[in-house]
Each structure stands twice: as C-alpha cells, then as structure tokens.
Chains A and B, each alone.
Chain A
C-alpha cells in the first residue's frame, strides 16, 4: 500500500516528480513518433476528405485532453479543499497552461480542418462554441490565480473557479447544443463500434496516448518549478544538489 499522504508534501513529491517526468517525456516522444508515422504513412487516404483528414490525428486527441485536463483540475481542486493540501493547488496551477494549450490547439486545428471540409474557418456550432468557452474558462483560471499575490489564496480561489466551471461545462455544452449544431457526432465511442478504419483508430489512439504522456510530463516538470518558486525559503530546497551550484 502506497502512503499517498507522504507524497502530498512538496518536499517528498519534488524528487518523485523529478524521477518520473523524464520517463513520461520519453514515452510521449515514442508514442508521438509511432502515432505520427501511422497517421502520415500507414493510414490510407480518406476517399471523401482526401489527405486533409489527417488533421484529426492531432485535433481529436487535443480536444479530448483539453476536456480531460479540466476534469483533473477539478479533481485536484476537490482534494485541495477537502484535505487542505498545498500540492493540489500547485498541480492545478501546473495543469492549467497545458489545458489551455490543448484547447487552443483543438480550436486551431479544427479551423484548419473546417476550411477545406465545411468551407469555413468557423461556425457557431455546439462543439466549437463550448470548446471556445472552455478555452475562456482556462484563461479565467490563469488570470485569476496570477492576479492574486498570495499563492495559498490564489490556489483556493482557483479551486473554486475550477469547480464552478466544471459544474457549468455540461450546462454550457447542452445549452449550445440545443441552440445550434453542425459538427458531426462522435466518431469514437465506448458503446458502439467506431465508424472509421482500424489503422486510423490506431493512429488516433497512439496520438492520444502521446498527448497523455506529454501532459503528465509537462505538468510534473512545471509543478517542480512551482514547488521551487514557492518553497525557496524552506531548508530542504537549499540542500538540493541542483541548488548547490
């Protein structure tokens, strides 16, 4: 049984994150290389959409990650509020830029895909609109936490924003869905057989795994920087070998 609370302390989590992040970064590179190879060289050209459809290998995993990272932030927010741990706030702060990046990437690649396929860069469709709002929520979180000087207060305020947002995301999604829709239904779902070729599915899943590993590696790397920044007055930081130089 792992003692989870031991790693809730920044002092013991810092070396653990330092050991873990290179592995996740290496996995991310490997999965990304394999995924890109499949998506560019192995996956067949789509007979309707031509070569342009290959954008989905980036677009779909990025959209998944942007939504999932927000849920992870909400999870850390709950942990932070219930157990009052410092590390959970730092994890939230470390995840937010990666989440915003994926939300932006998803909007950007979606626009690039939409131009040849739908003939327009942007439509006011349910999924596009809710992804845009998700991007705004990430920006709101980052803006609020960076405007508050006291890091503990910033973490707590950010936790409330993350939780209010996570309650609102499904509401926003359904409201814009009933308002207007053009985006096709999900191509991949857990309940029915996927409506795409197996190689394409493999490419997409590998890219999704690569993005997962990238997010984990980046957030661990970033949380180390945040720990150093906030705990610079602590004794254990001064004893770190990388601080001796």
Chain B
C-alpha cells in the first residue's frame, strides 16, 4: 500500500513538472468537441442530440493521446525494470501508475465536460449524468489503455498500433457512457447504463492491472 501511494505521488509529481503533456491532451479534448458544432451547424436541437456521443468520443481520443507515455519514459530510463525487480508485486505498481494516469488525464476531462456540454445546450440534469458517466467511464479507459500501452511498449509504430488494439475494446464504455446521457434526456433514467458502466469498471479494476503486468513482463524479457 505504501509503495502504491508512493508511485501515485511520484507519477503526479512527474506530471506536474511536465504540465504541457497533460494540458495538450486537455486542449485536444476541447478543440475536438468545439469542431463538431462548426462542422455540423449551430442548430440547438441537433447539438443537444449529438452532445453525449461527441463528448464521449472526444474523451476516448484524448485518453488515447496520453497512453503512449504511460510506461514509455519509465521503460527508456530503466525505472520499469527496477519496478519489476522490486519486492512489491508489479501489479500493485501498475495499478498505481494507472490511477495516476487517470488523475492526470481522466479526471480533468470529467471536470471540463460540463463546461463543454454547455456549448451543446445540455440541461443541468443531463450535465450531471454526463459527469457521473465520465467519472465511471474514464477509469475504464485508463485501465484498458494500460494493457495496450504495455503490449506496444518498444514496438515499431507503437502509437498507431495502440489505437488499433485499444479502440475496439473501448466500445462498451462508449456505448454505455453516451447511452446513459441519452437515456436520461429521453426520460428513461440513466440507472441501468450507469450500473453496467460500474460493472465494467469493477471488472477492469480486477483484471486489467493483471493483464498489463503480464504484458510488461513480456516487454521486459
């Protein structure tokens, strides 16, 4: 547990020292979301309909951007090997890194989403549901992404490959996340979608660090 806290603190500190990386992903999110009204036209009824999907797809892409660096820098300077050799199980350290990745890339998206949602004329209630769905969903993106990042570590053309591997696996999170907001707007209640999203998160927390650890061990062989 001590090692877990230490690794989260270390990764957050590293992110704080290199603010531009975190901010780039955030600005990317804002720009992608703002492009849609420009491309589709400023009709409010239409914008309200596409808002959940657009925000969620933009969140997927923004999460993808920062995944490359999840293990790459630690792999380059040999820190990752020391982590693998340490007495603490590697899965614990990987979980710590994933949590730190979510805190720096997922959580800002959750906090920023309501502001961008206002551009799409979403109601206050829908904004609340959107925030809850992103709060449950973005950790799933970090968890599944960690598996992909570990698998493509040190591989030629890793960035494009990562998206090919990870994006199909993101589909359930996208469907239930955007579906929750749509169901709420349609008056059906978002409970079912949010419960499924929570179930996915529980599965991910349990299995993803384990799979990512196995993939890291292969990369370090």
| Option from B155, B161, B211 in Cβ contact (under 8 Å) with A164 | B211
Interchain CB contact (< 8 A) of B215 among A157, A167, A172, A179 = A157
Tell whether, in the assembled complex, residue A157 and residue B151 are in contact, meaning their CB atoms are under 8 Å apart: yes
C-beta contact mask, A110-145 vs B, less than 8 Å → 1, else 0?
A: 000000000000000000000001001101100110
**For the complex, is A161 an interface residue (Cβ under 8 Å from B)?**
yes
Which residues on A sit within 8 Å (CB–CB) of B41?
Answer: none
Contact A153 B164 (CB under 8 A): no
Measured between beta carbons, the chain A residues less than 8 angstroms from B164 are 136, 139-140, 143
- Chain A residue contacts of B152, Cβ below 8 A: 144, 147
A174 to chain B, nearest CB (A): 8
Return A146 CB to nearest CB of chain B, in Å: 10
- Cβ of B202: which chain A residues have Cβ within 8 Å of it? none
CB of B218 within 8 A of CB of A156, answer yes
Chain A contacts of B196 at CB under 8 A? 175
Q: In angstroms, how far is the closest chain A Cβ from the Cβ of B36?
A: 19
Interface residue count for A (Cβ, 8 Å)?
27
B178: nearest chain-A partner, CB-CB: A179
Q: Does B155 contact A147, Cβ atoms closer than 8 Å?
A: yes
- Cβ–Cβ contact B172 & A168, under 8 A: yes
Q: How far is the CA of A149 from the CA of B214 in the complex (A)?
A: 19
User: When A140-B164, A160-B151 are in contact, do A147 and B157 touch as well, CB less than 8 Å?
Assistant: yes
Q: Are the CB atoms of A172 and B172 closer together than 8 Å?
A: yes
A114 to chain B, nearest CB (A): 21
B189-214, CB < 8 A from A? 196, 200, 207, 211, 214
Q: Does B39 contact A (CB under 8 A)?
A: no
B103 at the interface (CB under 8 A from A): no
**Can you list, as one digit per residue, whether each of A144-173 has a CB less than 8 Å from chain B (1) or not (0)?**
100111001100110011011101100110
A71 contacts partner chain B, Cβ-Cβ < 8 Å: no
Chain A hits for B200, CB < 8 A: 171
B169 at interface (Cβ–Cβ under 8 A)?
yes
Look across to chain A and name the residue whose beta carbon is closest to the beta carbon of B207: A167
Encoded as 1 (CB less than 8 Å from any A CB) or 0, chain B from 163 to 188 comes to 01101110110011001000000000
Count CB-based A-B contacts (< 8 Å).
70
Cα-based distance from A160 to B167 in the complex (angstroms): 16
Residue in contact with A160 in the complex, picked from B171, B172, B211, B221, CB distance below 8 Å: B211
**A36 to B158 CA separation, bound complex (whole angstroms):** 44
Smallest beta-carbon distance B206→chain A, Å? 11
Asked if B18 is at the interface (CB within 8 A of a chain A CB), the reply is no
Residues in B whose Cβ lies below 8 Å from that of A147 = 152, 155-158, 161
Given contacts A157-B151, A160-B147, A164-B147, contact A172 B161 (CB under 8 A): no
Give Cα A144 to B161, complex, Å: 7
Interchain CB contact under 8 A, A148 and B155 = yes
Beyond A157-B151, A167-B207, whether A133 also contacts B168 by CB under 8 A is yes
Is the CB–CB distance between B175 and A176 below 8 Å?
yes
Q: Which residue of A lies closest to B169 (CB)?
A: A168
Bound: A78/B74 CA distance, A? 29
Q: How far is the CB of A149 from chain B (nearest CB, A)?
A: 8
Interface 0/1 of B73-100, CB less than 8 Å to A: 0000000000000000000000000000
29 inter-chain pairs at a CB distance below 8 angstroms, sorted by A residue, are A139-B164, A140-B161, A140-B164, A140-B165, A143-B161, A143-B165, A144-B161, A144-B165, A147-B152, A147-B155, A147-B157, A149-B156, A152-B221, A156-B218, A156-B221, A157-B151, A157-B215, A157-B218, A157-B219, A160-B214, A164-B147, A164-B211, A167-B207, A168-B168, A171-B172, A172-B171, A172-B172, A175-B171, A179-B179
Could you list 9 further interchain pairs (A-B, Cβ under 8 angstroms) beyond the known A143-B164, A176-B171? A140-B165, A143-B161, A149-B156, A153-B218, A161-B151, A171-B172, A175-B171, A175-B175, A179-B179
Closest 8 CB pairs between A and B?
A: A175-B172, A136-B168, A156-B218, A140-B165, A175-B175, A147-B155, A140-B164, A133-B168
